[in-house]
Amino acid sequence: GAVVSQHPSRVICKSGTSVKIECRSLDFQATTMFWYRQFPKQSLMLMATSNEGSKATYEQGVEKDKFLINHASLTLSTLTVTSAHPEDSSFYICSARDTDVSYEQYFGPGTRLTVT
C-alpha cells in the first residue's frame, strides 16, 4: 500500500519555541493532506485540511496563527507549532489522500511532541 512518512517521530522542545513536523507521501501524489491531533486515551481530532498550493482550512477552535500549515508540493505538507506550550504536547498525525484514488487516505506513523 501507499506510504506516508512523518519526521520527526518524536520531539522534545522547550516552552516558547517552534517545532516543524513534515508529512510526505512517498509513492503517490497527494493534492490533499489532513492534520490530526490525539491526546492520551482520546480519539483523533481533525485540525486542518491542507490543499496543495492553497491555504489550509482549519477546524473550529484550531488557531491558524499557532498551527502553521504549508503544502507547497504534491508530496509534502508541514505543520509548524509556533510558540509551543506544554498543553500542545500531543501525538500529531497526518494523512494524505491519493489524487488518483480519491476514496483512500493513508496515515503517517505520527509525531510525539513533548513541550517542557
Partner 1 sequence: DAKTTQPPSMDCAEGRAANLPCNHSTISGNEYVYWYRQIHSQGPQYIIHGLKNNETNEMASLIITEDRKSSTLILPHATLRDTAVYYCIVKDSGYALNFGKGTSLLVTP
Residue 96 binding partner 1, by CB under 8 A: no
Secondary structure element (H or E) that encloses residue 72, with its range: strand 67-73
- DSSP string spanning 3-38? -EEEE-SEEEE-TT--EEEEEEESSS--SEEEEEEE
Contact string 33-72 vs partner 1 (x = CB under 8 A):
-x-x------xxxx--x-----------------------
DSSP label of 63: -
Q: Which of 71, 110, 113, 115 binds partner 1 (CB under 8 A)?
A: 110
| Distance (Å, whole) CA 28 – CA 102 | 12
Q: Closest CB to partner 1 among 20 and 112?
A: 112
- Told to check if 95 binds partner 1 by CB under 8 A, we report yes
State which of residues 21, 108, 113, 115 lies at the interface with partner 1 (CB under 8 A): 108
CB of 108 to partner 1, least distance (A): 5
- For 87, the 3-state DSSP assignment is helix
Decide: is 104 part of the binding site for partner 1 (CB under 8 A): yes
